[in-house]
Amino acid sequence: MLKQVGTSYHFRRTIPEHLRGVFGKREIWFSLRTSKKMVAKGRGAYLYAQTTALFEKAPYMSEDTIKHLLDLLKQQEQTYEFILKGQEKIHASERAELILARLQDFKAYENMVDKLQTGTSSLISTFEKVHFRNQIKAEMQREQIDDMKKIITDIGTARQNQSNQISESIERHTQNSSNHRYLISNVVAHHLKSKKCSEDTIKNTKRTLSLFISCFGDMDIRDIDGNIAGDFKDALQALPENWGKQRKNLSIQEEIDRVIAEDLETITQKTVKNHMGRLSVSLKESVNRGVIQRNFFHGWNYDLTAKVVRRAWTDDEIQKLIQSQWMTTVVSNQTYKAIVRMALYTGMRLGEIANIRNEDITEINGIPCFLVQHHDDTDWKPKTSAGIRKVPIHSKLMKYGIMNFMREGEKYLFAELKGSDSRARGQSFSNEFSKHKTSIGLPLAVTFHGFRHTVSTKLRNVKDDIREIWIDALLGHEPSHKSMGTMGYLSGIDIENLQQVVECVKYDCL
């Protein structure tokens, strides 16, 4: 039988009772020198057969002969192992030859497919160019006929002394017609009409066009560059997941503000890709015609395996924000700067910062901390159960004087922020913050919630020995593996480890 001792398997067989006097022992025990059960079974079967033969012939052998045979069994065990390994190498070589042959067949097939695709694409491209050129030529001829009719009518009814005005009118009309033709709304409309698209395609494309125009106006496609397309992509990624399904009267900026104030999920990368793709297809014909040199809505990367990650701030954008002058009266300039710095050095959500009470600031093992926890009196609570946490206060915040905002008689750290039954604490600040950053030239998609992602990005890029689970505990993220062991470990992380994580957040611009 097989016997596992530690991680190694052994062969153990009881000697028949009438042979125990011959062998001088009750059982035979060999080490199989392996921790793999299947290998041990093979070796054990071999030894079982050999010992059976030995037991049959043992009554007729001397003690020295039996001892010699037992030694041979041990040697044969090793020989058997070498034979098995040799067979495995032969099988591996045969498999490698078979895989190589299949790979060569696949390469030949792949080359043939590539040639077919290249030829087909070239043929389709040529056909589309000819078809588009004929359409444009016919359209221009119709416009020229209409223009000539108007010119003849104007000449026939105008007086001689108005000839100069007529010429100017003709020139202005021609120029306006040319410019009007390349507005993105007209280019998209021409594409939808010429391609005979389905009702769903027309509806969705018009929806995307409306989004673009609400952000940048009805632009001439010749003025659209990479920055415009990139800003549009950023704005799409900052929209709430349920955009267009509720509150249809809100502007794009108000929708983005709602994401921050209500901490909503944003639309998926697949949806962003679909919006960009609709404009890309509409402008493809204009590239073929030579109206524009490049289609800037094409060629962007999308992570379709995960939710959209809201955009983090760059150091230049943070510096521009910090150096700007806060003009609104919703909160003072001093409170505004403190809230921004608190977000930059803790990664806390705006709702969490706005609801920090004076009693939520305490010391744990001599380390000052913010406690993000449920409020029994107002029933406010963090977004998730993982959001209930301790956040060590960064030394930069202590140096800045964050403790000076704790005032006697006030409930909250930032008493200037107001809330109501219908309006969350910090929502007014969120709206004014969005207006402020837009007024100083920052992109639509750069939001207050982006500070949280900035902190997360910086922590995951540091070279110090920081565990991923410590970062999740600091930011209130759900762990990627929600086992009982992981959840228990999260609750038991030392505050000293969290302080080490916090102090790794550094900014060259501050």
pLDDT given for residue 170 in this prediction? 43
CATH number at residue 348: 1.10.443.10
d(CA 178, CA 192): 20
pLDDT given for residue 407 in this prediction? 93
Which residue, 284, 276, 283, is CA-closest to 229? 276
Structural domain for 153, as ranges = 1-158
Q: Considering the domain boundaries, does residue 176 fall inside one?
A: no
Q: Are residues 100 and 240 in the same domain?
A: no
Q: Coil, helix or strand for 337?
A: helix
Q: Give the mean pLDDT of the chain.
A: 83
Q: Are residues 196 and 323 in the same domain?
A: no
Q: Are residues 335 and 483 in the same domain?
A: yes
- Looking at residue 421, what DSSP letter applies? S
Q: Is 68 exposed, middle or buried (0-12, 13-18, 19+ CB in 10 A)?
A: exposed
Q: Considering the domain boundaries, does residue 210 fall inside one?
A: yes
Q: Considering the domain boundaries, does residue 493 fall inside one?
A: yes
Q: Considering the domain boundaries, does residue 167 fall inside one?
A: no
- Looking at residue 411, what DSSP letter applies? S
Q: Are residues 351 and 469 in the same domain?
A: yes
Pairing of strands 361-364, 367-372: antiparallel
Q: Are residues 50 and 142 in the same domain?
A: yes
pLDDT in tens, 61-82: 777 777 777 777 666 656 656 6
pLDDT given for residue 484 in this prediction? 45
Q: Are residues 146 and 211 in the same domain?
A: no
- Is the pLDDT confidence value at 392 over 90? yes
Cβ within 8 Å of residue 405, ≥6 positions away: 335, 338, 413, 414
pLDDT in tens, 425-462: 888 898 899 889 989 999 877 889 999 999 999 999 98
Q: Are residues 334 and 378 in the same domain?
A: yes
Q: Considering the domain boundaries, does residue 172 fall inside one?
A: no
pLDDT given for residue 183 in this prediction? 93
Q: Considering the domain boundaries, does residue 230 fall inside one?
A: yes
pLDDT in tens, 229-259: 998 998 888 888 877 665 556 777 777 777 7
Q: Is 433 exposed, middle or buried (0-12, 13-18, 19+ CB in 10 A)?
A: buried
271, 289, 307: which is the final residue of a domain? 289
d(CA 194, CA 400): 62
pLDDT given for residue 463 in this prediction? 74
Mean per-residue pLDDT for 307-330?
85
Q: Are residues 233 and 325 in the same domain?
A: no
Better pLDDT: 407 or 171: 407
Q: Are residues 108 and 9 in the same domain?
A: yes
How many structural domains compose the chain? 3
Q: Are residues 264 and 360 in the same domain?
A: no
- Is the pLDDT confidence value at 171 over 70? no
Q: Considering the domain boundaries, does residue 166 fall inside one?
A: no
Q: Considering the domain boundaries, does residue 459 fall inside one?
A: yes
Q: Are residues 239 and 331 in the same domain?
A: no
Q: Are residues 285 and 326 in the same domain?
A: no
